[in-house]
Amino acid sequence: MTATFPEQSVAVLFSGGDAPGMNAFLRAVVRLGLNREKIAVLGIRDGYRGLVRTARAVNDDAEALVRLKNDIATHTGRAGLISEQLHIIQMDHASVSGIMGKGGTILGSARCLEFHDKKVRDSVIKLLKSLNVRALVVVGGDGSLTGARLLAQESDLRVIGVPATIDNDLQFTDMALGVDTAVNTLVWAVDHFIDTARSHRRVMVLETMGRASGDLARMAGLASGAEMIITPEGGPLNEEAMKKLAAKIEGAMTRGRGHAIVLVAEGVEFDPPQKRNRAYVLMDAFQQYFQRAGAPFQDLEVRPSVLGHLQRGGHTTPGDCILAARFADHAWKTIQQPDGGSGITALRGNVVEIVPYGEPDMPERAAYSREMELLHDALSSW
């Protein structure tokens, strides 16, 4: 039987940094499309870059477009996934089986500077329309959703954005995909560092991800029992501020505390600016303070660690899997509404809704962050 290209489809791509829950979302959006909506789902390999490369390969060539459609129709599911030349894959049930808990994304993700060029975006829009794509779902962080907004503004395609970033720096939603798993990973890491910290009476300074947001560090600090959280929202750290932080640790140790875990978010800045990782800058400042003349703990050791991309990987938590399914469900409902339009899925007060591109920050997010810091201070005092 000759393979036929779908008369209509929805395309999905993952862009920017990977986040746990992306595979769970892919499974959900594919299964809902096939089982409930009866619409084909095209998976785009390597995000916007995959679209750009495919558009360039077709390049207004009618025969090239026919070959592309034939390749997509004949190399479906896993056959398409293992093909290094095919960037657009018609997904099937088997292709998303067993991937829900896996970190990363089986479709791959990439950054694409070429996508900033409007002519390139125009070629991508033309490609999507020629492939009978009625809607595009873009999963990623701030930069990825900016690209989605441009496509929505410059075409009549319905473009649905889905927030996925462990930084949780998208202030229009309570949570993004990947945050819950990253917090769990950080708690796991703190648990391991505590063993050494307690054994040797040490101060461990652990640098988390989070860009300009301190949410990841705050949530991990509350969940792990870390003694100190330092976030960008507190402003740049100067020498005097770092001395006060060290004095707080020293004071707790004079009252019986035997170690300290300090979480510092990667977005924290210093005055004057520093080029080194935050954990190492704080190590030097703390060590200098502890070793001053007459100090009670001159032999107190400070050890830094930059946790880095460890926080992006690992088995996806049930919380992120559930959120992925809810985001996929609402994305499909919006796509199927005659007047649904474009927008971004957002979790607000445990309700998933669609918000427009450019939605202002929720003031509740800033208030919640401040509340978490005050709560942590009260819990960690000794």
Query: Active-site positions?
Result: 167
Helix (H, G, I), strand (E, B) or coil at 23: helix
Residue 45 falls in which region: left (phi positive, over 0), alpha (psi -120 to 50) or beta: beta
Closest CA to 65 of 138, 21, 153, 5: 5
Residue 268 is given by DSSP the state: -
Closest CA to 252 of 177, 201, 303: 201
Q: How far apart are CA 314 and CA 311, in angstroms?
A: 8
Q: How far apart are CA 72 and CA 89, in angstroms?
A: 6
Where would I find the H helices in 272-355?
278-290, 318-336
Helices 179-200, 215-224: axis angle to 10 degrees equals 50
349-363: b or e for each residue (b if 16 or more CB lie within 10 Å)? eeebebbebeeeebe
Q: Are strands 88-90 and 40-44 parallel, antiparallel or unpaired?
A: antiparallel
Please work out, in degrees rounded to the nearest 5, the angle formed at the alpha carbon of residue 231 by the alpha carbons of 161 and 311: 55
Q: Does a cis peptide bond (omega within 30 degrees of 0) precede residue 356? A: no
Contacts of 143 (CB under 8 A, 6+ apart): 15, 16, 111
Question: Are 332 and 34 within 8 A, CB to CB?
Answer: no
